[in-house]
Structure 1
Amino acid sequence: MSEIPVVIAGGGTVGLATAVFLGHHGVRSLVVERRAKPSNHPRALGISLRTLEFFREVGLREEMAGAAVPSTALWRAEARTVAEIDRSQAPPPAERDAFFALSPETPRGHYPQHRIDAVLIPAARERGATVEFGVEVTGVEQDADQVSVTLSDGRVVHADYLVGADGVNSLVRDALGIATTGPGEIGDITLNILFDADLEGRFGPMPPMTQINHPDARGVLLSVGDRRWVLHVLPDQWDDASEEHCAQAVRTAIGADMPVEIVSVLPWRATARMADAFRHGRAFLVGDAARAVTPLGAFGLNTGIADAHNLAWKLAMTLAGQAGNRLLDSYHQERHAIAELVTRQALARWGNPRMHWDPTAVAERRAAGAWNAPLVTMGYRYASSAVIDPVVELPSTEDLAASLDGAPGSRLPHRWLADGTASTLDLNRSRFAVLTGPTGGDWHGATRAVAASLGMDLDTVLLDEQVASSLNLADDEALLVRPDGFIAWRTRGAASPTRLEQVLTTVTGRHS
């Protein structure tokens, strides 16, 4: 084993999440970030329920709740200016409650990216990671046994694996010689103006997101904290990034002459680009280094964190000698396919945002091949060597509940257990587990025998009749759930240690 198991190039949100997930599985990492300190700019805001489930799994549920910017109205408004917002646009609570019932998590508000980072940095260190700012990867060499990573301060670090989380212009990706495909940069540079203003004191409760349609300041206004806001202004009106012009743009979007303090300005440009390979030997790409998508839909950050979650348990099992090289290959198989899906979905919305925001735009989505937004972050499925007989076709691209049906390759459906505090998603405890109904006690002996034979952590969970029935799990059926909560295998009949061992050997790539 090398001096450090995993080096992570990039200490943004996805790189930090990778370190946290690895640490959760007992793997130390070194995170190096070229910036001198964490960014104070909010950047992304939308965290999906699936991402909240990841943080729940690693014990950061309450910390993330504290990072949220509370909102009295989780909705998107559209108005000429802030002063003209029609608060009757807010959707009825019932529409949101039906969606939230599909997860054990509920958003506490919205989650500015810099506030997420403030949680992840100490969490990564508490779980064994070393996080260094002002240092970047400048060179990568690898052989069959290790990766040698050259850092900007002159050090050469030898690691078992390298994770490139260093953004859309990834040096790691370039050093590995991995090409990219896609349209690249789309449109002109947009100004991201971070400012302070007492909008709620002036106008009352504010939605977290408002589409501003004023002809002289078209853009999007986002709440990112107490009296703090971001205005994304389209460049055809405001190509001057001076503080004076930015303040003028903000007041125009507000529709009132009131005190405004400009904190910072960050130009950005939408990008759609994907790496041709997410793995090269002992190196892997996650987040924007792997693929960058347009911002509409908030798919980018959530997809990047899901990359990290998928990769972490596979690296951990391989480092522990419980999996083979083929399991690491499944990272590319699974996440590259999802990146292609997300890119298609984001580009479809870029030309017609209504398909994303309007739940009634079913016909438009169907004609464009677009999925209803919750399906993109929670309803996707894996088809790889780490799933036995995957069911790839979704029952619906509109109804998330219908698509979370317990099929191999899908995320295990959430159901509350009898105590009302634990979810079916909590039962596997970040390892493989067999879930079966109340009459499946024979699986206990089978899993103990296989766990001993393969030297891995494996258990059986008997579900009560009500929960098993709600999962459409027949008396003679069982589910093998992976450490990431996805269903690796569904079987029926008597418990068979021989068959279970064959399945686990295949799924974990031990025969490769």
Structure 2
Amino acid sequence: MNGNTVSTEVLIAGGGSVGLMLAVLLRHHGIEPLVVEEKPELSPHPRATGIGSRSVEILREVGLDHAVNDAAVDLRAGKIRGRTLAEADFTENAQWKTTTAAALTYTPARIRGTCAQNRLDRILVTKAGHVQFGVALDSFEQDSDGVTATLSDGRVARARYLVAADGVRSRIRQILDIGLTGPGAIGHETTSVLFDADLRPRTPFAMCNIEHPDATGLLVTVDGVREWVFLTRLDTEPTPELIRTAVGDPSIEVQIRGVLRFRGRGHVADRLSVGRVFLVGDAAHAIPPLGAFGLNTGIADAHNLAWKLAHVLRGEAEPELVETYHAERHPVALMTMEQAHLRFNDPSLHWGKDMAEARKAAGAINAPVVHMGYRYGGAELPSTEDLTLDLDGSPGSRLPHMWVGDGVSTLDLVGSRWCVLTADPSVRTDIPVHVVDDWPYGTVLVRPDGFVSRSYSQHTDPRCQPRIPGPGRLTRG
């Protein structure tokens, strides 16, 4: 190829959190992608702050969970409210940390608070390999062997596969003429004000509803010390005085660093793949901004797609394997979008206490189940409230977590490869077998992404099985 042509196995268009996460995961599986990002640098704006337990599990898999935990803000209160921050009641959610982290028995994931998306991106980019900023994908064509893309710097990129991680207005999705399903734009336009101010000692907290009539909005922590976001409805340019009013301190020094205006959206692309092109993250789905579902759903997209692409590219699976990406992730995206929309219309379904009956009446699912309880293959969930009942070792569900050693989880045993977990020491197969004492879930075949592919000890409806053939032949004795 000439100097104006670059070659890569996977071209990722978009260097936001999901595009970077996909690059990290592909490299974890031995595939070196090329990431091109239209913006000249990482976004300084937080955008989202809630990293769910399933995302932390994925970060743990690639060895980045400790770095993200270090970048997270240790909180003593979660969501609080007040006329101003100075008047907020910090005891309102004083137990938020213990009830959302330390008490989790279904996951090895631990994160001490919130980690803003811009802080996450700084970590991901260090492990994402070849990332080129200031370069956009202008056009592309695909054939039976790959994709040829024209880049904004005049080069031509040839790739085996193309992944669109180029955001909610995805140019790649538009070129493919993929339709959208969902309510579309919802709510009012919101102004997001990124600012610096020393708010100690009124910290830390995750977010604070400000009820002052001249500065109504939501104050969100970024680093817990100096970096913050104020979300408000505003027809004019934000000023430091607006922030001082919200904080309740007319003397505080405020520096506004950036302003974004956005409106919530709810839609899912009708197809998440066309030929050799795949959609992930906001290019695949826009999730209404309540519940911290959007970023986490995108990270799960990347996790599902990465191992499948790697298996095909390494010659360990037929190309049909990657076609299961749409079949598995599309129903999850629709469910998640619908759940976020329900919460957008009635936030008490998410933030309220003892809301199980109200959620049932509204058709809402408890947040941990939305994040992690879904199943590939369409099987009905045992519970829409209790995640521990959903993680029962059934095909299509995430492998149950058990501690099997000092800081070692059954999820760690998977090691990003096919394996078998069992309590039966007589099980033999040509892939790794992990014998776990007191394992109550029978003998299960586990995929590289930690989802149960098959159960060898229970009768299961074939319609509930993921349409992915498991490798190896399993025998006993």
Q: TM-score range by the shorter chain?
A: over 0.9
Describe the superposition over 1:429-449 as per-residue Cα deviations: whole angstroms up to 9, x where unpaired: 001101111x33232xxx22x
Q: Which residue of 2 aligns with 1:228?
A: 227
Deviates more, 1:22-31 or 1:419-428: 419-428
Q: Residue 330 of structure 1 aligns with which residue?
A: 324
Partner of 2:385: 398
CA–CA distance in structure 2, aligned partners of residues 78 and 405 of structure 1:
38
Partner letter of residue 299 of structure 1? F
Q: Deviations over 1:42-68 (max 9, x none)?
A: 110000010000010011122212221
Distance in 2 between residues matched to 1:16 and 1:380, nearest whole Å: 24
Number of the residue aligned with 1:85: 88
Residue 26 (structure 1) aligned to one of 4, 20, 30: 30
For 2:454, the equivalent position in structure 1 comes to: 489
- Using the size of structure 1 for normalisation, the TM-score is 0.86
**Alignment check: 8 A CA contact 1:193 1:246 kept:** no
Structure 1 residues 219 and 489: alpha-carbon distance in aligned structure 2, compared to 1, 3 A threshold: same
**1:331 aligned counterpart, secondary structure:** helix
Match of 1:35 in 2: 39
Deviation at 1:274, TM superposition (A): 1.4
Could you tell me how far apart the structure 1 residues matched to 2:82 and 2:419 are?
50
Q: Which amino acid aligns with 2:19?
A: G
1:361 aligns with 2:355: yes
Q: 1:231 to 1:503 in 2, by over 3 A?
A: closer
- Whether contact under 8 Å (1:140, 1:176) holds in the other structure is no
d(CA) in 1 for partners of 2:249, 2:209 = 17
Q: Would you say the 8 A contact 1:4–1:160 is kept in 2? A: yes
Q: Distance in 1 between matches of 2:432 and 2:106?
A: 25
Report the more deviating stretch, 171-180 or 284-293: 171-180
The answer for the alignment partner of 1:386 in structure 2 is none
Measured after TM superposition, the shift of residue 166 of structure 1 is 0.1
Where does residue 479 of structure 1 map in the other structure? 444
Rounded to whole Å, the distance in 2 between the matches of 1:218 and 1:293 is 24
Is residue 479–residue 490 contact of structure 1 (8 Å, CA) maintained in 2?
Answer: yes
Residue 245 of structure 2 corresponds to 252
Give unmatched runs, 5+ long, in structure 1: 384-389, 449-457, 494-501
Counterpart secondary structure, 1:87: coil
Distance verdict in 2 for CA 1:283–1:151, change over 3 Å: same
Deviation, 1:79, is 1.9
Q: Give the C-alpha shift of residue 421 in structure 1.
A: 1.1
**Contact persistence 2:427–2:433 (CA under 8 A):** no
TM-score by length of 2: 0.92
Per-residue CA deviation, residues 38-93 of structure 1 (Å, 9 max, x unaligned), is 1111110000010000010011122212221232x151112221111112212536
2:143 alignment counterpart: 143
Find 1:440's aligned residue among 425, 440, 450.
425
Q: AA paired with 1:232?
A: L
Q: 1:426 aligns with which of 399, 403, 412?
A: 412
Query: Shift in Å at residue 492 of structure 1?
Result: 2.2
CA distance in 2, matches of 1:216, 1:293: 29
* Equivalent of 1:54 in 32, 47, 58: 58
**Cα distance in structure 1, aligned partners of 2:392 and 2:213:** 46
* Candidates 10, 14, 17, aligned match of 1:10: 14
Query: Any idea what the Cα deviations from partners look like across 1:290-323, whole Å, max 9, x if unmatched?
Result: 0001111110000001100000000000111111
Shift of 1:361: 1.2
Encode CA deviations 1:182-211: one digit per residue, 9 max, x unaligned: 22222332111111222123x3x3312111
Question: Which letter does structure 2 place at the counterpart of 1:398?
Answer: E
Among 188, 197, 216, the alignment partner of 1:218 is: 216
Counterpart for residue 206 of structure 1: 204
Looking at structure 2, the residues matched to 74 and 411 of structure 1 have their Cα atoms a distance apart, in angstroms, of 30
CA distance in 1, matches of 2:140, 2:466: 36
Q: How does 1:309-320 map to 2 (within 5 A)?
A: 309-320=303-314
How far is 1:503 from its partner?
10
Tell whether the 8 Å contact from 1:318 to 1:325 is kept in structure 2 after alignment: yes
What's 2:133 paired with? 133
| Aligned residues of 1:74 and 1:109 also touching (Cα < 8 A) | no
CA distance in 1, matches of 2:361, 2:92: 26
Aligned residues: 457
CA distance in 2, matches of 1:170, 1:429: 33
Q: Distance in 1 between matches of 2:226 and 2:98?
A: 29
Q: Is the alpha carbon distance of 1:300 and 1:487 closer, same or farther for their aligned partners in structure 2, counting shifts above 3 Å?
A: same
Partner in structure 1 of residue 462 of structure 2: none
Q: Per-residue deviation at 1:94?
A: 5.3
Aligned to 2:433: 460
Paired residue secondary structure (1:53): helix
Asked if 2 retains the 8 angstrom alpha-carbon contact of 1:359 and 1:372, the reply is no
Tell me the CA shift for residue 141 of structure 1: 0.2
Structure 2 letter corresponding to 1:200: R
Answering whether residue 284 of structure 2 is matched by residue 262 of structure 1, we say no
Q: Is the 8 A contact 2:446 2:453 kept in 1?
A: yes
- The answer to whether the 8 Å contact 1:64/1:116 transfers is yes
CA distance in 2, matches of 1:261, 1:364: 42
Q: In structure 2, what is the Cα distance between the partners aligned to 1:463 and 1:58?
A: 23
Tell me, yes or no, if the aligned pair for 2:101 and 2:110 is still in contact at 8 Å. Answer: no
Which residue is equivalent to 2:235?
239
What residue identity is the alignment partner of 1:82? L
Change (3 A) 1:421 1:121: same
Partner SS for 2:469: helix
Go from structure 1 to structure 2 and tell me whether the alpha carbon gap of 1:85 and 1:192 turns closer, same or farther (over 3 Å shift).
Answer: same
Cα pair distance change 1:369/1:123, threshold 3 Å? same
Q: Which amino acid aligns with 2:148?
A: S
Contact 1:179/1:276 (CA < 8 Å) preserved in 2?
A: yes
Deviations 1:241-299 (A, max 9, x none): 2xxx4322212211221222212111111111211100100000000000001111110
